[in-house]
Amino acid sequence: MEAIIGIAVLGIGVATTVGALTKINSIAAMSRNSTGAYSVLMNQVDLFQSLSPFNPQKTNQNPDPCSGATNTAQIPKDGCHGSYPLYDMTLTGSGTWRSLSVDGTTFNVPVYQYKDPNNNTVVVVNGQLSVQVADLNFAGTNPSSGPFQATFKITYTFLNRNYSFTMSTIRTSDI
């Protein structure tokens, strides 16, 4: 009888340990995805802060190398990748989101990538990246000299649950 009770207690302990390790692994996977999502957003914030020229109150005199357009506002916009822009810092209006790409060929943005060592399959968690750019124009000038707020959002699905993260930054004109 003592042996049966001992085996039962041991079995409960093993089952509890396996359940706890499975939950910890799930939390670790969600944390890796969150870290990847925030890295994508931080890269977009850095890009928004560094692209030049950023002078919305001025116009370009030279033709755009991709679209050939002239007299456009000096706001960075990727016109070379057609339907899949890498960046577009032009104003979107309230509540309007614009999709962005990281490779110029698709709107899928890899949030996390994992290679299974047992069978060499690669699992990729893809998300959708979008931006909303607003002119805050606190001074009320026309044309506006800003500041401009860019809000970046990434959404993805992992284990049949939807996740969404946002990050914002503010930038003023370069002049």
pLDDT tens profile 30-43:
899 999 999 999 99
pLDDT value for 114: 82
Question: What Å distances lie between residue 164 and 33, 128, 154, CA to CA?
Answer: 11, 9, 6
* Longest Cα separation, the chain: 92
Given a cut of 90, whether residue 117 has pLDDT beyond it is: no
Question: Could you give the count of Cα atoms lying within 13 Å of 156 in the half-sphere of its Cβ?
Answer: 25
Residues near 71 by beta carbon (within 8 Å), at least 6 away in sequence = 59, 60, 61
pLDDT value for 132: 92
**Contact in structure between 173 and 68 (CB atoms under 8 Å):** no
How far is it, in rounded angstroms, from Cα 128 to Cα 57? 31
Q: Where are the beta strands (DSSP E) in 23-86?
A: 55-59, 73-74
pLDDT value for 69: 76
pLDDT value for 78: 82
How far is it, in rounded angstroms, from Cα 39 to Cα 78? 21
Please write the tens of the pLDDT for every residue from 128-160.
Answer: 999 998 888 877 777 677 788 999 999 999 889
Question: What Å distances lie between residue 41 and 35, 69, 168, 173, CA to CA?
Answer: 10, 29, 9, 22
Rounded (to 5) percent helix, strand, coil in the chain: 30, 30, 40
The residue that leads in pLDDT, 143 or 123, is: 123
CB atoms within 10 A of CB 40: 20
CB atoms within 10 A of CB 56: 23
pLDDT band at 162 (very low <50, low <70, confident <90, very high): very high
